[in-house]
Amino acid sequence: MSAVELHERIPNNVSLSSDERLRRALEEWQPHFLDWWREMGPDRFQQHEVYLRTAMSVDASGWAHFGYVRMPDYRWGIFLAEPVPDRRIGFGNDYGKPVWQEVPGEHRNALRRLIVTQGDTEPASVEQQRRLGATCPSLYDLRNLLQVNVEEGRHLWAMVYLLHTYFGRDGREEARDLLARRSGHPDKPRILAAFNQPIDDWLSFFMFTTFTDRDGKYQLLALAESGFDPLSRTCRFMLTEEAHHMFVGESGVARIVERTAGCLRAGRDPRADGALDLGTIQRYLNLWYSLSLDLFGSEVSTNAAQFFGAGLKGRPKEEERYDDHLAVEGTYEMDVYEEGKCLRRAVPLRSAMNEVVRDGYVEDCQKALDRWNRRLEGTGAALVLPSRRFHRHQGTFAGHCFDPAGREVTREAFERQRDAWLPSEADRAHVRSLMTHGVFEPGQFASWIAPPARGIDHQSIDFQYVRSNEA
Ligand code: BYC
């Protein structure tokens, strides 16, 4: 294992200093990244000192270092998890053969596409969230937002490293394009639909980091299984950072719910108390959960079958959870929309891989909801996950309308009920009215969110997590 080169212009543990061409190519990309960061990264706080964690090594313990950093000085670097000795391909047609250290020619296009799609989501999310700082509910939350943002920047570096190292000129072009597309832009949008949606309030941010970052976790787990070892090692390290993003989302919604529950228990109207009502929370949940379900692709997918067969993208925890790693013969039961109705049918397993991964995700989301609902005990109210058929734009249910319980409805009925099921203009206006300004006093919190149980890195809740550099 090569040592961590922390003091290089690009911190890394991939021996960049011994590969002159690659180092130069990445150093050429770096100023473009910084330009993009200045233009599209977090608005307003670039000169502030932020109490951030920075990756310093890839050891399971103690890889993170906390300290004040101005975001443009953040040490974005290239970190791969330790190689697993004698690692073998864990699934698909090449099952049991040694993993690849170079890109096999026949899989080049498919791998490039997977890496570009993954890479595209990282800067997209930074773009989506760029204006949130100004309306933060506390310094603690502002710091968490900015932490998530710098780490998404690092995840972009991770994918750009793979593109530059293994895909030659095409890879360098793709790396440039990753900085050229823009979330929500009519002519040069980001690749996946959820990453073109605006995130302009904190309820959306916490729902996004709960549900969309959780898709990230599942996709990274699937790519961590890849027979292309550099991709696997890159994703394994990214997963260590992803956990904090989901914590930010899930604990953020939990704190909102706690505040709402407090009002309900006291017999007060949350809205009148400057908190969020449960209906609005449910509608935002419905939106971000359904958008995130789309990110798993079609239920029946030849792409997914090809990725699995080729050994490029497996199932999360392939070795621990499954016995049959070839998946040539089995079938998978799922709901599909065929012959004008929903029916359950057995789909050849390889073609069902997107649904297999989505099923794990749905189960995981339900656990997050159960934790939120514990905060609502005694109020008689609860949040629910809508049916996976509801409000879908990819896959078998796209183009058909379902209510949140999963019953098919006409388009007219859906449109009539839309404001009861998805955030309405009035909801958005209400949410915005609660979030007109930021709360920048240490230890103070906006009226619509409870304080967290504890601070970051053993610091107190009223710690100055972000400070202007004159302070
Ligand atoms: N939007 O067989 P299909 C994260 C396209 S999040 C738009 O259904 P496939 C993060 C698809 O590209 C994780 N287009 O799907 C989170 C294909 O296009 P072509 C990101 C979509 O290919 C928060 C066509 O529909 N990582 O890390 O099996 C913050 C039919 O394809 C969508 C990855 O996604 C959509 N939702 O699966 C920051 C992993 N869905 O070929 C970061 C890499 C499908 O007809 N990507 N399409 O032009 C993949 O594994 C696959 O591309 C997908 C789609 C799972 C996304």
Q: Whose CA is nearest to atom 38 of ligand 1?
A: 122
pLDDT, residue 5, reads: 80
pLDDT, residue 60, reads: 65
Query: Separation of 298 CA from ligand 1 center, angstroms?
Result: 9
Q: Whose CA is nearest to atom 27 of ligand 1?
A: 216
Query: Separation of 193 CA from ligand 1 center, angstroms?
Result: 9
Of the residues 214, 298, 302, 353, which should be mutated to test ligand 1's pocket, given the most ligand atoms within 8 Å of the CB?
298
Query: Separation of 303 CA from ligand 1 center, angstroms?
Result: 10
pLDDT at 118 over 70: yes
pLDDT at 310 over 90: yes
pLDDT at 236 over 70: yes
Atom of ligand 1 nearest to the CA of 301: 2
CB 387 within 8 Å of CB 402: yes
**DSSP per position, 391-431:** T--SSTTTTS-B-TTS-B--HHHHHHHHHHHS--HHHHHHH
Of the residues 295, 353, 388, which should be mutated to test ligand 1's pocket, given the most ligand atoms within 8 Å of the CB?
295
Q: In the structure, what pLDDT confidence band is assigned to residue 432 with cuts at 50, 70 and 90? A: very high
Q: For residue 323, which phi and psi values (nearest 5 degrees)?
A: -100, -40
pLDDT, residue 73, reads: 92
Query: Separation of 448 CA from ligand 1 center, angstroms?
Result: 34
Query: Separation of 294 CA from ligand 1 center, angstroms?
Result: 8
The runs of H, that is alpha helices, within 208-265 are 213-224, 229-265
Query: Separation of 320 CA from ligand 1 center, angstroms?
Result: 25
Share of the chain above pLDDT 70, in %: 98
Atom of ligand 1 nearest to the CA of 114: 43
pLDDT, residue 233, reads: 97
Cα distances (Å, whole numbers) of residue 177 to 124, 129, 158, 190, 372: 12, 20, 15, 10, 39
H/E segment holding residue 151:
helix 139-166
pLDDT, residue 46, reads: 94
Q: Whose CA is nearest to atom 21 of ligand 1?
A: 192
Q: Whose CA is nearest to atom 40 of ligand 1?
A: 297
pLDDT, residue 53, reads: 92
Query: Separation of 295 CA from ligand 1 center, angstroms?
Result: 5
Lowest mean pLDDT among 7-11, 112-116, 277-281, 289-293: 7-11
Query: Separation of 163 CA from ligand 1 center, angstroms?
Result: 18
Pairing of β 341-348 and β 466-467: unpaired
pLDDT at 18 over 60: yes
Mean pLDDT of 337-351: 96
pLDDT, residue 64, reads: 80
Atom of ligand 1 nearest to the CA of 357: 55
Distance CA 212, CA 289 (A): 8
H/E segment holding residue 338:
strand 331-338
pLDDT, residue 54, reads: 87
pLDDT at 129 over 80: yes
Mean pLDDT of 347-357: 98
Share of the chain above pLDDT 90, in %: 93
Q: Which of 229, 222, 10 is nearest to 117 (CA)?
A: 222
pLDDT at 3 over 90: no
Atom of ligand 1 nearest to the CA of 193: 1
Q: Whose CA is nearest to atom 20 of ligand 1?
A: 118
Q: Provide residues with CB under 6 Å of ligand 1.
A: 114, 117-118, 121-122, 125, 152, 192-193, 212-213, 215-216, 219, 294-298, 301, 303-304, 313, 354, 394
Distance CA 118, CA 352 (A): 20
Query: Separation of 248 CA from ligand 1 center, angstroms?
Result: 24
Mean pLDDT of 420-440: 97
pLDDT at 147 over 80: yes
Query: Separation of 304 CA from ligand 1 center, angstroms?
Result: 10
Q: In the structure, what pLDDT confidence band is assigned to residue 56 with cuts at 50, 70 and 90? A: confident
Mean pLDDT of 230-235: 98
Residues 6+ apart with CB under 8 A from 10: 16, 23, 26, 27, 30, 76, 77, 78
Q: Whose CA is nearest to atom 5 of ligand 1?
A: 297
- The tokens for 155 are 């995840």
pLDDT, residue 62, reads: 61
Q: In the structure, what pLDDT confidence band is assigned to residue 7 with cuts at 50, 70 and 90? A: confident
Tell me the pLDDT tens digit for each residue of 173-207: 999 999 999 999 999 999 999 999 999 999 999 99
Rounded-to-5 percentages of helix, strand, coil across the chain: 50, 10, 40
pLDDT, residue 59, reads: 73
Pairing of β 64-70 and β 341-348: unpaired
Q: In the structure, what pLDDT confidence band is assigned to residue 461 with cuts at 50, 70 and 90? A: very high
